[in-house]
Structure 1
Amino acid sequence: MSLVANAVYVDGKKRIDPDTLETTFELMRTSGGMGWIGLYRPSAEEISAVAAEFGLHPLAVEDATNGHQRAKLERYGETLFLVLRPARYLDVEEKVEFGELHLFIGHDFVVTIRHAESPDLGIVRRRLEADPELLGTGPQAVLYALLDQVVDEYEPVVLGLENDIDEIENELFGGAPDVSRRIYELHREVIQFQRATQPLQTMMESLLRGSEKYQLEAELSRNLRDVQDHVIRVVERVNTFRALLQNALTVHSTLVAQRQNEEMTRLTETSLSQGEEVKRISSWAAILFAPTLIASIYGMNFDVMPELHWAIGYPFALLLMLGMGVGLWWTFRRNDWL
């Protein structure tokens, strides 16, 4: 059963916890109290039953049934429809988990529809039930308390993301191999968090603008302004996180390019060094090849060779070997091969 909380309040005090929605509707009519219905991942039939009783707009009902909505505030006649995107930081996985909370706020009812574990609405109920004076102001008090709870639960997320960014900065200059993947994943989470928090600024402004028109209690207006201040601080820090991660991506790209340039420089220097060695070896090979060529020619076993019976043939061959060797050495030396 998706009905997780169900109560009727009169003058800020709980009258009864009905077992069914039908009982809740009957008690609301007979007592003139405020009904607060909490649903967790309800079926389409359960949402339709609530919609039929309170006359909820079909478009809002469709959004609440389908889920996966952006954070927003819409007014359908006397009914407010809000979509909030609560979040919580999972320490073990070091990730942010996003939820979805739908609120229908009427003149005598509050309907909450959760599509995730967060936020813990039981905390909100106990807090308001402990303050009958505040709860006695009606559904607006519940709206304030729900907004306050969602925004308060953003604080651990902000601290978790801040810690992750600090770790990334250390890994960035430490040369961690998977730092680029972590930066991209964290950047995606920050963007999702930004999409969840930024619309709250406009929503809070809209609620405060309508405080006089809908005769909101002065103390409740002050409480909403306090929530608005918290929202502004959260949004500013999230914007800072996104800027830091974008800078981290730029720095990482620069460091990778720098390492690649250093590697290319090292390879180039190695190649040049190897080239110099090859030139030296080739030069000495050529110098040694010249006398070897001459000696091999004169070492051939032919009977008829003009120089064999020449008196100065032997010293001439030696001088030729020496001359060619010195000539090649001088040529290579002049061209910086030796």
Structure 2
Amino acid sequence: HNSVIDSAVYREGRRVASPTTLAETFRRLREQPEGMAWIGLHRPTESELHSLAAEFNLHPLSIEDALEAHQRPKLERYGDTLFVVLRAARYLDAQEEVDFGELHVFVGPDFLITVRHGAAPDLSSVRRRMEESPDLLSLGPEAALYAILDAVVDGYAPVVAGVQNDMDEIETEVFRGDPEVSRRIYELSREMVEFQRATRPLVGMLHALMAGFAKYGTDEELQRYLRDVADHVTHTSERVDGFRQALTEILTVNATLVSQQQNAEMRALAEAGFEQNEEIKKISSWAAILF
């Protein structure tokens, strides 16, 4: 499969080349002294990652991570290259479940490389939006990183809405005494643990990025945008923590209701047994009289 989804060289925020291979991308970038490459990959091979490492002087540890997948969100700086791991999420309505994707981003002085594992996030729309704002894209690779962070964090909103909907349904099912509800609570709890792992580290990562942006004198406008993303992520993270707590409480309520129901059933059985005994006694005494 072709792992190069889209590769382009930009100058002053405008696309000047659309190479189809990595080798051609490297060549076209060298021809553009003020240019920047934005390379989008989906599940690249080891040799593709090694050719990127050789061209852009990427740290072997970050290459190892990008090959592996299943990384926790993190932000690492190797020399003048940033390595960012993000967990994207999307809500699948039909299955009523959350699907998590993983994204690795390398950001250097004149390049940005994205390595995607999984379906989310949709980066083609991010690139389109940036190409429509050359003023923003001309600020360089950090601007593209901001746009990707923004898209990943924006993608959490429909997930939060979907989960809220599930929570409301689960509450109704608990009080209706639905026998399937325990399984639903456990499944959603497991997804919320995963969602916490995606959002919690991002709060610290964005603050570290903002500190770096300030230190390296990144454009004021970009710093402001990044603050918005950081606020958004903090809010999302708090919502997810709230869901997890609420699910723990719902599980307790459900267990209490189930045991009350079982006690009532045991009492009803005991009473039925007592009545049956009385009937048998009556029948026995009649039998004694008659026979």
Q: TM-score range by the shorter chain?
A: over 0.9
Cα deviation, residue 41, structure 1? 0.9
2:251 counterpart residue number:
249
Cα deviation, residue 276, structure 1? 3.2
Distance 2:283 2:90 in 1: 69
Cα deviation, residue 149, structure 1? 0.4
1:176 counterpart residue number:
178
What letter corresponds to residue 13 of structure 1 in structure 2? R
Cα deviation, residue 285, structure 1? 5.9
1:92 counterpart residue number:
94
Q: How does 1:1-338 map to 2 (within 5 A)?
A: 1-32=2-33, 33-282=35-284, 288=289
State the structure with bigger RCO (CA 8 A, min sep 6), 1 or 2. Answer: 2
Distance 1:212 1:92 in 2: 44
Q: Percent identity?
A: 56
Distance 1:51 1:127 in 2: 28
Distance 2:24 2:223 in 1: 33
- The structure richer in strand per residue is 2
After superposition, the C-alpha distances for 1:140-175 in whole angstroms (9 at most, x for unaligned) are 101100000001111111111111111111111112
Distance 2:57 2:117 in 1: 22
SS in structure 2 opposite 1:210? Answer: helix
Distance 1:243 1:105 in 2: 37
Cα deviation, residue 19, structure 1? 2.3
SS in structure 2 opposite 1:99? Answer: strand
Distance 2:18 2:280 in 1: 93
Scaled by the length of structure 2, the TM-score of the pair is 0.95
Between 185-194 and 269-278, report the one with greater CA deviation. Answer: 269-278
1:305 counterpart residue number:
none
SS in structure 2 opposite 1:100? Answer: strand
> What is the count of residue pairs matched by the alignment?
289
Cα deviation, residue 12, structure 1? 1.2
Runs of at least 4 residues off by over 6 Å = none
What letter corresponds to residue 270 of structure 2 in structure 1? T
Distance 1:213 1:26 in 2: 32
Distance 2:213 2:69 in 1: 28
SS in structure 2 opposite 1:250? Answer: helix
Larger Rg, first or second structure (1 or 2): 1
Cα deviation, residue 228, structure 1? 0.5
